[in-house]
A and B are shown apart, each in its own frame.
Chain A
Amino acid sequence: MTQVCQAQCYKKFMQPLGPVRVSGAGAYLSTVRRGFGYSMSERAKSQTSRLNTSLIILTVLAVCAAIAVAITKGPTRVIEIAATYLGLLLVLSPKILCGFFIAASIPLLIPRDVFVRWLGEHSGHRGLLMACLLGALVPGGPMMIFPLAISFRAAGASTATLITFVTAWSLLSVNRTVIWEMSFLPWDYVALRVLVCLPFPFLVGLAAKRVLN
């Protein structure tokens, strides 16, 4: 039974990629903008409304923080901070664009049904393990990981897998542990932390799966 399933999986995986089935975050947003409906138009709508809510919440938070800083440190400090971080944005923009490019090309490279099979609602423990591995191995900071997570979601990954992915990245990112943590902290501490944290992305994902279903 499992062998048959694997063979099918392999067959699907080796099929040439069809552009029609494939869709990603960008595609969703574009359908909304152009105003024509795929079968996904419902999800597309929720995606734009989600973006708008995020923008509203972020703006409110930013304004509150700006007022707090202005009161405690003076209004010029607010402008200084804004200028510094906009400069940072310019410095980071090539990296961010690369992250976006990767996130945009993943739905083109991997057909949707493969994605759903490996990371979707019914992917089971294997899906969670895949998400753990991806989270630990994909290099990059939040500006890389979160766009990637969006493209995974658009391609059909379930919320539990996404939670596992983000948690695995935050706890076990190989890149960050080796480059940063090892250089500031003693190796026996790093070993202790990694060992302690190792099962948690999977466990959190499992809990999320149980509760959310």
Chain B
Amino acid sequence: MGLAGICWQRLETPERQSEAWTRMWRMTANTAPLIIVALISAGLFAELLPETLVRNYLGDASGIWGIFLGVLMGILTPGGTFVCFALAGGVLGAGAAYPAIVAYVTAWSMLAITKLLAEEMAFLGPRFILTRVAFCLPVPLICGIIAQLAP
């Protein structure tokens, strides 16, 4: 919000402020149906992907298998920042290894399926998502393996 204020100030003249204002409303009008559908489907996906899955499988994960599981669970974990980090903290307390958690958090932040299919789809479209996922898919795995090799 502070940033929005700064932008408002930097626009300086009233004409340009109103220009930005109308552009904002146009953008809102164009994306409103998308956002509504996106949010509702995010909620529905979250319902279909239970958090207990993560607790059950990642709790005592270790080694390469743990990293694999971390990536998979990260992609499947629904919802916002709070859910992911609270879960990661929980399973870390339950005895999961650092590399598995690194893989989990990395996979969640880059490739979480709810974020991809709801918000990114709404704004950037399927082609961009496919391109990005193609390049990003191996990264969480590599990150986990590096974390495993690190002393």
A interface residues, Cβ below 8 angstroms from B: 19, 24-27, 29-30, 33, 50-51, 53-55, 57-59, 61-62, 65-66, 68-69, 72-73, 77-78, 81-82, 84-86, 88-89, 94-106, 108-109, 139, 141-143, 146-147, 149-150, 159, 162-163, 166-167, 170-171, 176, 180-181, 183-186, 189, 192-193, 196-197, 200, 204, 207-208, 211-212
Contact = CB atoms under 8 A, between A and B. Distances in A.
15 contacts: A26-B23, A29-B30, A73-B47, A81-B40, A89-B36, A105-B8, A109-B7, A141-B81, A142-B119, A162-B124, A163-B132, A167-B132, A170-B109, A171-B106, A212-B131
B136 A204 contact: yes
Contacts of A162: 124, 128
Interface string B95-113: 0001001100110011000
B4 A159 contact: no
B24 to A, nearest CB: 4
Given A100-B27, A196-B150, A85 B43 contact: yes
Interface residues of B, number: 72
Contacts of A208: 131, 135
B64 interface: no
